[in-house]
Structure 1
């Protein structure tokens, strides 16, 4: 999800029965008045994201903490001052990824790119990735896809190709030709 979509996420967007998150709100900033408001997602379209067991458990913890401290609102991410704004979520993500285990601080945008790349590397259809991420295929291909394969995966593929090429060069064709 985009950071504005996280800030605009409401509890009624969480469909536990059908195990999905309905992404239909996004926080926007009116630069003239310097005020935040809730609108539609960037491309104006509602989309669906799977509600995995891990995400459902995390959301349950968030709701319990918000209930405990008395700041449960219609928005998923709230604190004593109300809805948590996108820039606060962004700052938190960068702080949490500035410690051990990360080569450099990560943004929500980086997480979206990584998810897309991992989905594609796992064999998910491009159209599914685009639908979940909320991008067109062109934007997804151009800006949201990068290599996430390991050196050993690359080695395995190159070794397989080399074996096939070497076999063909030695006259051992595997295509049924004489």
Structure 2
């Protein structure tokens, strides 16, 4: 077996073309042979400066031979061995999407051990300018800063694991300046719009109960799709939220845990909602409160609920809001009606009431009008004294 040379050990020479070349030991193969990193420069002084910087970078680092594997190969391995056992199926599918669509096409073939900080910066610049595969009517091919930040989160975790496995000396994503996160504006149905939406669902015998329950509970889309009759306590008028439905690759549905620990909760239903579910239970022949209309042995598909909501909004002449905005609508009107933030955070499944307040700092036009009327009346009472 060859004698092991310490990592950081190096040598220099002048090539026939006049440039200077050097190498340092950055690790060892399984048989003990050295793994070298080669550097070149136009002068000996410049080369020695490069070598010094690299010797410092690789000090106390002993890379393995696998550091030459392509980044794409490492990302596949990381997804299966590191991510899959620790995240929800829907989260894992999201990670796969970022890897396949955004990272692999640009850096997938480069050896993981040679990924540099500049490679990462260039990746994020390209994603911001033309990261979409299909043109968006409003944003073109640009990716939102929040999406680039999520891609960074995946790549950062994968390269952290690579550093732990001695495939890279340092995580090149550390310290990268990320684009600002611009949260999508919340869209809330005001009183008049909510009345129009309620009229639209009233005419839909299949989906009325689903959307009425959503608007009076603010459940997440996967949570309301995952409700079973065992979760409904008719005697006490409560609903236990204990699971969420995920759609995996290929369309298969799975029931998983709620988004957070606080997501497992018991909520007291409004009397009208409790009555609605009591009547619905009498007609039900499946374990799911809201089964798939065509395959009642299965829960409603989250995407089917989204599509039907869009159709109802269009029919009512309302803005094309997101499904999550129905949750925002419930929360905003609850606060406007006097529900305190602590109680509302428990209903929504938030970990802290402060998060609920931070999330719903916005107000609707109806709330502003009501506030102005209250203040106006208060001032008028003072003036007439």
Confirm or deny a common fold (TM above 0.5).
yes
349, 353, 359: which one pairs with 1:134? 349
- The answer (yes or no) to whether the contact 2:247–2:301 under 8 Å persists in 1 is no
Q: Secondary structure at the match of 2:358?
A: helix
Matched, 1:120 2:335: yes
Equivalent positions of 1:70-149 (< 5 A) are 72-78=285-291, 79-81=293-295, 82-100=298-316, 103-135=318-350, 136-148=352-364, 149=366
If asked which structure has higher relative contact order (CA below 8 Å, sep 6+), I would say 1
Q: Secondary structure at the match of 1:75?
A: coil
Partner of residue 12, structure 1: 230
Partner of residue 2, structure 1: 220
> How far has the Cα of 1:76 moved from its partner?
1.0
- The answer (yes or no) to whether the contact 1:19–1:50 under 8 Å persists in 2 is yes
> How far has the Cα of 1:112 moved from its partner?
1.3
1:145–1:10 CA distance, 2 compared to 1 (3 A): farther
Structure 1: how far apart are the matches of 2:329 and 2:229?
Answer: 26
Structure 2: how far apart are the matches of 1:118 and 1:140?
Answer: 13
Moved over 6 A (4+): 164-167
> How far has the Cα of 1:50 moved from its partner?
1.7
TM-score, with normalisation over the residues of structure 1? 0.74
Partner of residue 258, structure 2: 41
Deviating more after overlay: 102-111 vs 1-10: 102-111
Q: Secondary structure at the match of 2:363?
A: coil
Across the two proteins, how many residue pairs are aligned to each other? 161
TM-score, with normalisation over the residues of structure 2? 0.37
1:130–1:14 CA distance, 2 compared to 1 (3 A): same
Unmatched 5+ stretches in structure 2: 1-218
Structure 2: how far apart are the matches of 1:61 and 1:89?
Answer: 21
Structure 2: how far apart are the matches of 1:64 and 1:92?
Answer: 25
Structure 2: how far apart are the matches of 1:144 and 1:38?
Answer: 29
Partner of residue 153, structure 1: 370
Unmatched 5+ stretches in structure 1: 173-178
Spell out, residue by residue over 1:22-74, the C-alpha distance to the aligned partner (whole angstroms, 9 max, x if none). Answer: 1111112344x653211121113411222223213332454455x4xxxx321
Structure 1: how far apart are the matches of 2:376 and 2:269?
Answer: 39
> How far has the Cα of 1:8 moved from its partner?
0.6
